[in-house]
Structures are given as structure tokens and as C-alpha cells.
A and B are shown apart, each in its own frame.
Chain A
């Protein structure tokens, strides 16, 4: 029997800030559907935090699914693989959804999805083997940040890590791909957990799910219970549904009671946090040797004709995905990559889906509603909800007048841009925008 325990501290629930955003998990019971092979994919060389890759193919090359087409010799980076089989049509500048221009490889699909010959399950005996294998798989955090997973797993010898936290909170509204992963690929998740536990010798493994997903919890428990002894080692934890419960630092606090200090990583308090989808992918990769070439995304929002969960090859054009979901019901006014709290509003749908994108949300006029921007009334709601215990309204004022001393006093750098403050603000102030400005002011000051 697996242990079922409640959150050690309902971190984001009691006194530790956070907000009660509407969940809108409309696609929760929509199984992930495999989207037909797109005619062409565009694969940017920067789909992760760290050094961009350099294309290793040239125009006219024939490539197969899983073949490396871009790599870097830097440690903090992850290789890019072909996600369809076909011919390289272009190697050059491509525009990403966030407006950045980066190198990219365009592949015209031959529709065969032929697998690359050299793919075979990696032999993994030690942690070092695992890190090498995970790097080769091209895996980056699938939860949204896109941090290369092998970097996270390469724990420096001076840090004693005893806990693996599997993040299944999925606290962003609308997105349901992690939920679907738990329902549909429970076995993969458990296999991934066992492998990591065996290799690293973790004393504790915690799988944390928000309490608005009781079915996911039940499903995990059923599978863990079947595994008897092995399942016993795994703790399933129910967390209060409160945004930003899934933020790494909040997650560590809820699962272990430990607090990650400002500027430090979970490894500094003995934890590794992995997204549930990333864990399942590790298990699949070790079994099949097939690198990260596709991912699940939620397509939803008031302007989408048929909201859906889709498995798409990475590099698929956003507009193609929307068209597959029946196109727009009404004229969209805002299109977001990721969740509505931390996602990116895009100006153009002619860009590719990258490894870390977990949702496309398109909203019609008026939904989500915009609040009129008024002067700050110092109500203190931003201070109450900040999970990092900051004072956003004061930081806003200091950012506007570039008061570096004030920004240092109020620890502006600690902000993780979760958006709770701006969500709660009755005066509709764009506080996250000012938080970013504040950090920019501090960075400029630091580089002087």
C-alpha cells in the first residue's frame, strides 16, 4: 500500500499567500488525441534555458524521427531532434512566439514518420549514465520553464539530495495535459519514479497532486498499490488547490516543509522537483530510446471551436494546431502560449510549438475580462497574496523611479513572476510588468 498523506504544510493555502484562481479545467476529461502529421515542422535551436544549439544538418538532407539536427557543446543546453521524417528545407533564422529570432531548421515531412536507425534504449546503470541518457533525449522541464533536465539531475557532490518531488499540481487554469498524463500513462510515471529512486537512492519520493483532481489521485494510488513494496516507498500527497501551488519553491515547502532560500535551488535543501510529464518521459525513453519529438498540449479558450488535448510533433505550427481544433469560433483578441497566469501573449500564430509549451489558449473579446487600470489604493492585497512575502506595490513605485536602494530593501529579485499580485489587484495594475522592470533596473545597476 502506498502511503497517502496530506501536505505537510498547505503552503500556498495558509498565510503563505497565493490566490484562488478559477480552474477552468474544461478539457480534463478529453483524452489526448494524436494530431495528424503536419506537412512541415520548424525546429528552433533554442527551446530551453541555456546555450542555443547549432544546426548539424544542411538544406537537402534527409532526416528521420529522432535524429539529432542541432546540438551544443555547452553543459546547460539540450539537443534538438527531428520530429518528423523528411527533407530539410531551410536552415536559418526563424521567429519564435515571443518575438525572438533564432536559428532554426525547417523540415518538410514525407508523411512516413520513419524512425532514425540508431535509436535504441540506453544502458543506464549509474546516475552518470542517466544524466548522459537524459541529455541525449533532449528532455527539458515539460512544465513550462524548459530547464534542461540533465542539469537538474546532475547534483553536485557537495549537496545531499534525499527527496524527489514529482510535481503534478498543475495549478495553472485551463491546462490539463499533466492530468491526462496521470490518467493515461500512470504506469510510465511510476516506472520513472522507481528508476530515479533506485539510481539516486532517494529516501523520500513525494507525488503531489492538487485536491481538484481526485480522479488523478485515485488512479495514481491504484497503480502504486499494485506494486506492493515498491509502491510503499512512494508518498502520494494531496495539496490544497491554490495558485501557485505548482511553483517549485511552493512545491518543496508543501511536500517537505523545507524552504528554499532566495537565489538558491531545491537541491540546496535536498530536493529535486520534476514535472510529472518529464518523469513519465524518462521512463519511456529508457524503454524505447525515442527522444523528445512530440508533446501533449491543451488547446482551449473562448475563441477555440473545439477545445482539445493533442499530442503534436514539436515544431508544429500553432495556427495548424488551432485549425485542427476547428479554428476560431470568434475573432480571437488574445492568444496565450501556456497558462493564463504565467503564459506568454503572442502577436502571431505563425510560429512553432516548442518543447516547453503546454497549452495554446485563444480568447475572444472580453474573456478573460480586462480590469480598468486605476491608481493604487494601497489596499495591501498584493502583499497578502505574494507567496514570496514581497511588497509588490512598493516595488512598482520604486521601479518607476528607479530607486535601486528601495528595490534592494524590498528584495525585488526574489519575485518569481507568478502573477498573484496582479491577479488580486483591484486597481488592475500590471504589477508583473513592473516586477520585470524592477529586476531589469537591478541588473543594470549590477552590471555598472
Chain B
């Protein structure tokens, strides 16, 4: 026996087949429809932009880990996911160098400087998007209108203009008809202005469904997030279902609810916490859309709720199995003690 070496380790000695990189791969697969549709509507440029953010994100992850003398983690594919989600949050016309800056901010400042995967306290892609929005306001608001088929030289020729969100949320108090807005069918398919990944609602729903079926994400956050927005918009629109549909299909709600609010690291661990998180995201999104000066509030809602996660988790610490509420002492006992 002495020649053979046996492994001695703590139980359990069997493990599930799931791995971090497998989960990240599932997220990438779930984002493919949205990416493909962005290429359909915005042309090859969309793919070039995505390739730029992904390549920069992976390179930034590799180099920052190298400089920090930490082990290489690009194999877990999380940098690819961050790069991809960032690209989908950008206008297709954004200069590539700006997009690359976004990736570096997301990976180096937001993620690696806080310790890498699992340690960042806000969502890297959203934070990068917000920083880009304030750094390059003009380019970041250059919403190229999605065309089908994509205009060949759309960067110079394409029609840019207000997104449906901007139109809708400036005049929601007197919303009567969908005049001046794309049709609901166009909203569903994605033929309207917006960031390259958020326009096509069907592609996002397909990706979200895939993540739910593969049990990569729990349904609590997306359902409570979208559900809360729906309830508030139904009240704000005085029961107008058309208004409700525009609010749900437009802007970054689907992309945010399925792919960004569900980010493991920056959302609560437990079911109760996730419910509070989702509802919070929904309320802040709706309030910004209706009363803020910005047309869209998904990014801000998620980042604000990210910051609250430790507090939500503390408040929703589950009671252990079989927990009994301590019985209150009767008045007599208290009196006896006193």
C-alpha cells in the first residue's frame, strides 16, 4: 500500500457536472440570438463592435491578473460575458476605441480591482456603460435606427433619432395612441432605435427562456423586475395596454432583467432577497422613466440595487430548518425577573 498514494479530502467525494465556465458558456449561448439580430439590423459593424469589446475585456482580464500576480482566470469565460453584454448595451455606431475603453473600465476598475470574479459589488458592464454615457454623451446617444436589411453605409447615411423610450417618456401623461412610435410588431422584432442588443425583444426573450430552462438563472429576479414595471406602467397609463407593451418591449428592460440584474455576483443569494432586489429594480426603473429627465432607467436601477445587496442579504437571512420563534415571556415571568 505504501507505494500507492491515496487522495484524502473532505466529503463529498462526488460533485455535480456544473462548472463556472459551463455556466458562462450558457450565458454566451443565450446572448447569441440578440447578437445575431443586432448584426441583421445594424450590419457587420455590430459584430465588429462586439468583437472589440470581447477581445479587449479578455485581454484586460489577462493583463490585469498578470500585473497583480494572480492566477489567470480568462478560462472561466466571465470576461467574454462581460464584453458581450457591454457591446449589447452600446449604440452600434459607437467608435471602437470608446467601446474598448468601456471594456477596460468594466474589467480592470470594476472587477479586478475589487478582487476579480465574484467580488465586484456592481455590475461591470452596466458601470462601464454609465461611465461611457457621461464621458461621451453625444456618441452614446447616437441611436441608429435599426433597418432591415441593414443600410450598407449606415454610419454616414443611417437615420438616427429618438428611441421609442425618449418619445414615450416625454409625453406619457397624455399618451393616447401610438402615433410617432414604431408599431408593436416592429418593437417585438427590433426595428427601432436603441442600443444594438436591446432592440430585438424576441431574441432577448429566447435567450432569457434558455437561461431559465437551463436553470442558470432563477425566475425570481426577471419576473419580479418586469412584473413591477408592468404594474406601475399599467397604473401610470391608466390601464392602456398599448402603453404597457411599449414600456415592456422598449428600452433595456428585457436585456437588463434577464441578463444584467441576474448577475450572480451583484444580486442577492436567497429567494427572498432576490424578490426584494427585483421589485426594487422595477420601481426605480419606472420612477426614472416616468419622472426622471433621462428617458431610460434600467441601468441606474440595477446599479443602485447592486449597492443595496449586502443590506438586503442581511435583512433576509433565512431562518434555519425547524427554527422556532423564541416564546415571549409572559408578564408574570417578567415581573418575577424584575
Contact = CB atoms under 8 A, between A and B. Distances in A.
Contacts of B313: 394
B23 interface: yes
Contact of A342 (B12, B16, B314, B321): B12
B66 to A, nearest CB: 17
A369 B320 contact: no
Given A336-B13, A340-B14, A349-B1, A411 B22 contact: no
B212 interface: no
Given A378-B118, A379-B23, A428 B15 contact: yes
Nearest to B18: A426
B293 interface: no
Contacts of B317: 391, 409-410
B118 A19 contact: no
B10 interface: yes
A290 interface: no
B7 A345 contact: yes
Contacts of B78: 377
Contacts of B14: 21-22, 173, 340-341, 368, 423
Nearest to A437: B10
B109 interface: no
Interface in B1-26: 1, 4-16, 18-20, 22-23
Interface in A359-416: 361, 363, 368-372, 374-381, 383-384, 387-391, 393-394, 409-411, 414
B23 A426 contact: yes
A33 interface: no
A428 B12 CA distance: 11
A214 interface: no
A376 B118 contact: yes
Contacts of B73: 374-375
B15 A369 contact: yes
A334 B269 contact: no
A344 B11 contact: yes
A428 B14 CA distance: 10
A384 B318 CA distance: 11
Contacts of A432: 10-12
B321 A375 contact: no
A421 B218 CA distance: 17
A172 to B, nearest CB: 10
What is the interface of chain A mostly: helix, strand, loop, or mixed?
loop
A262 B12 contact: no
Nearest to B216: A379
B249 to A, nearest CB: 29
B185 interface: no
A377 B270 CA distance: 14
Interface string A412-448: 0010010100111111101011001000000000000
A260 B322 CA distance: 5
A347 B8 contact: yes
Contacts of B323: 261-262
A249 B269 CA distance: 24
B10 A249 contact: no
Contact of A383 (B1, B265, B269): B269
Interface residues of B, number: 43
A332 B324 contact: no
B320 A393 contact: no
Given A261-B323, A348-B1, A390 B318 contact: yes
Interface centre among B7, B14, B264 (most CB of A within 10 A): B14
Contact of A377 (B11, B16, B20, B324): B20
A414 B12 contact: no
A259 B324 CA distance: 10
Contact of B320 (A331, A348, A388): A388
Given A350-B1, A436-B10, A427 B320 contact: no
Contact of A368 (B15, B20, B22, B320): B15
A345 B264 contact: no
A391 B319 CA distance: 10
Contacts of A374: 20, 73, 76, 117
A389 B319 CA distance: 7
Given A380-B264, A388-B320, A389-B319, A340 B12 contact: yes
A185 interface: no
Contact of A261 (B12, B13, B18, B322): B322
A111 to B, nearest CB: 26
Interface string B97-124: 0000000000000000000111100000
A74 B141 CA distance: 80
Contacts of A424: 16, 18
B11 A345 contact: yes
A173 B14 CA distance: 9
Contacts of A14: none
Nearest to A349: B1
A343 interface: yes
B12 A423 contact: yes
Contacts of B314: 409
A335 interface: yes
B10 A389 contact: no
B22 to A, nearest CB: 7
Interface string A253-296: 00000011110100000000000000000000000000000000
A423 B318 contact: no
A159 interface: no
A14 B95 CA distance: 51
Interface centre among A249, A260, A262, A380 (most CB of B within 10 A): A380
A419 B117 contact: no
B15 A345 contact: no
A333 interface: yes
Nearest to A258: B322
A346 interface: yes
A346 B118 contact: no
A411 B319 CA distance: 8
A345 B9 contact: yes
Given A262-B320, A388-B321, A389-B320, A378 B269 contact: yes
Contacts of A343: 11, 13
17 contacts: A16-B321, A333-B7, A345-B6, A345-B10, A345-B11, A350-B1, A375-B118, A375-B119, A377-B20, A378-B267, A389-B318, A409-B317, A414-B321, A422-B12, A426-B20, A427-B19, A432-B12
Given A375-B118, A377-B264, 9 more contacts: A16-B321, A261-B324, A319-B1, A368-B13, A368-B14, A380-B264, A391-B270, A394-B269, A433-B9
State the 6 A-B residue pairs at the shortest beta-carbon distance, nearest first: A419-B12, A433-B10, A259-B322, A261-B322, A414-B320, A368-B14
Interface of B: 1, 4-16, 18-20, 22-23, 73, 76, 78, 116-119, 218, 264-265, 267, 269-271, 313-314, 317-324
Interface of A: 16, 19, 21-22, 173, 249, 259-262, 264, 319, 331-336, 340-350, 361, 363, 368-372, 374-381, 383-384, 387-391, 393-394, 409-411, 414, 417, 419, 422-428, 430, 432-433, 436
